[in-house]
Amino acid sequence: MIAKVNRESCIGCGACASVCPKVFEMDEEGLAIVIATPVPQDEEAGAQEAADGCPVEAITLE
């Protein structure tokens, strides 16, 4: 699984980094970045939860 953050949409709410800190991190611009590519198998559920929880649907999983 590959996670992507659309930084045009991300509003920096930080939910993804709270829910799944091994995959998402906030950068110095206050926007989310993906720090694990591919997403480790045991983090896939967390990444899915983060994607589902993003208020602006900025996270896509492939």
56 binds ligand F3S (CB under 6 A): yes
CA distance 20 to 8: 21
42: three-class secondary structure by DSSP? helix
**Count residues contacting ligand F3S (CB under 6 A)?**
14
32 binds ligand F3S (CB under 6 A): yes
* Member of 4, 8, 14, 41 binding ligand F3S (CB under 6 A): 14
Residue 40, φ and ψ in degrees, nearest 5: -60, 145
Q: By CB under 6 A, name the binding residues for ligand F3S.
A: 5, 10-16, 32, 54-56, 58-59
